[in-house]
Amino acid sequence: MNRSFRTLRERRDKIIEDERTIQLQERVKNIRAYSIKNMDLLIEKVVKNFEKNGVEVILAEKSEDALDALYSIVKDESIIAKSKSNTAGEIGLSEFLEDKGVQVVETDLGDRIVQLDPDSNPSHPIGPASHLRMDDIVKIISNEFNIDIKPEPRAILDIIKQDVLLKLAKCNIGITGANSVAADDGSVITVHNEGNINLVSMLDIHIIIVGIDKLVETIEDAVSVVKLETIFASGKTVPAYMNVISSHSKTADIEKILLDGMYGPRRVVVILLDNGRKQAIKKGGECLLCIGCGSCIVTCPIYNEIGNEFGYKRYLGGRGVVLSSFIDGNQSCFDSGLFTCTLCGLCTNKCPVGIKTNNLIKNLRNDSVDLNIIIDEHKSIKDRIKKKGSPFKQ
């Protein structure tokens, strides 16, 4: 992980000094603040505009609602394809579908490697296999395909690519997340480098699962958000691909008769997930300003030591700890590492939208003490103070 992140940190630290990045940062801060303040209005607009564009839209209040909606579409399939999505990870989509007998094929290289390793969980939003060394990966691939493979990145890539493409040919449904959603235009933006989202989103039915926190007002705002996300996530100004999806595929080239599903999907379905986000907005909504770049975690000293043990599902580091309290409640927040954080504030220094994660964690610790959800060491200190008047008295 350290090796993976060192170059990333160096590239990012150079580019974020650029005047254009600083201006973009200010713009995105305002965009995100507007979204949080006007969430109900944006939801209303996006539903109307998606429907106008022929995109089906489902509002899911909880994880279960999103999973039920999803299953009603995929229930007759034996295999579906998927690209990286934190929201899918949040609702446990892959586990849910696999339990129902639907095979889920991850198409992102890192995610596919992690999926083939029963002992692994993704370790970074854009580098899910960053915690694995070449030797580990070779072992995973050899076990899965029962072959000897050279410890070379290209050889690994070729084997996974060939296998995923064969499986993709059997899939009718592709599931992706979204990096930003434009309410006024009824459009979704996805960002990727591998080209896998192009393949997944071109299957017969494309399902997009996305949190309401990804909503912004216009398509120009959405592009600004994903551009800043790319800069802070990768240290590059643009990703290889930025797709805008505003409709299913259609043609009217024969006597102006409208036909759906030319080369792309016949149906596009967007599942918009709340799952505690409106609750987070009631409490100020600062954690929802996040654009998901992961810059905070590559700087975090705790994450750099213990990796994905610090955080909640795909939401890693202190930011994940904060989100978990709204998604899953106080006990889950405690279990995600509420008291693991050092409160050093390095995450805040490197956050493009200025989220003060360390302060949010401090406030949550306060709530947690009120609820008596505290670590054993603190309990014994509390008991000694109560009984003996001092934490030092035995």
Radius of gyration in angstroms for the set of CA atoms belonging to the chain, rounded to a whole number: 22
Residue from 138, 355, 361, 364 binding ligand SF4 (CB under 6 A)? 355
Options 98-106, 183-191, 252-260, 351-359: segment touching ligand SF4 (CB under 6 A) = 351-359
Residue 311 engages ligand SF4 in binding (rule: CB under 6 A): no
User: Site size for ligand SF4, by CB under 6 A?
Assistant: 15
- Among 263, 185, 253, which Cα is nearest to 217's? 185
Q: Candidates 39-47, 245-253, 334-342, 350-358 — which segment interacts with ligand SF4 by CB under 6 A?
A: 350-358
Strand partners, 243: 190
When the beta carbons of 96 and 303 are compared against ligand SF4, the nearer one is 303
Does residue 296 bind ligand SF4 (CB under 6 A)? yes
58's enclosing H/E stretch is strand 56-60
Closest CB 360 distance from ligand SF4, rounded Å: 10
Binding of residue 293 to ligand SF4 (CB under 6 A): yes
In sign, the C-alpha dihedral spanning 37, 41, 43, 46 is negative
User: Is 314 or 350 the residue whose CB approaches ligand SF4 more closely?
Assistant: 350
Place of tokens 């905070």: 296
Among 294, 307, 311, 337, binds ligand SF4 (CB under 6 A): 294
Q: Does the footprint of ligand SF4 cover residue 291 (CB under 6 A)? A: yes
Tally DSSP H helices, then E strands, for the chain: 19, 14
Does position 214 interact with ligand SF4 (CB under 6 A)? The reply is no
Q: Is residue 36 part of the contact set for ligand SF4 (CB under 6 A)? A: no
Among 235, 307, 311, 352, binds ligand SF4 (CB under 6 A): 352
The three-point CA angle 78-145-101 to 5° equals 20
Distance of closest approach, residue 233 Cβ to ligand SF4, in angstroms = 8
List the structure tokens of 330.
């106080």
The single residue among 292, 307, 311, 337 that binds ligand SF4, judged by CB under 6 A, is 292
110 forms part of the interface with ligand SF4 (CB under 6 A): no
Q: Does position 353 bind ligand SF4 by CB under 6 A? A: yes
Q: Closer CB to ligand SF4, residue 248 or residue 319?
A: 319
Distance CA 171, CA 193 (A): 22
Residues 227 to 286 in contact with ligand SF4, rule: CB under 6 A: 232
Handedness of CA 372, 378, 379, 382 (dihedral sign): negative
Cα(26)–Cα(228) distance, integer angstroms: 10
Q: Is the separation of the CB atoms in 97 and 121 below 8 Å?
A: no
How far are the Cα atoms of 86, 336, 343, 358, 376 from residue 322, in angstroms, in the given order?
15, 9, 13, 10, 21
Question: Residues interacting with ligand SF4, by CB under 6 A?
Answer: 232, 290-296, 319, 350-353, 355, 357
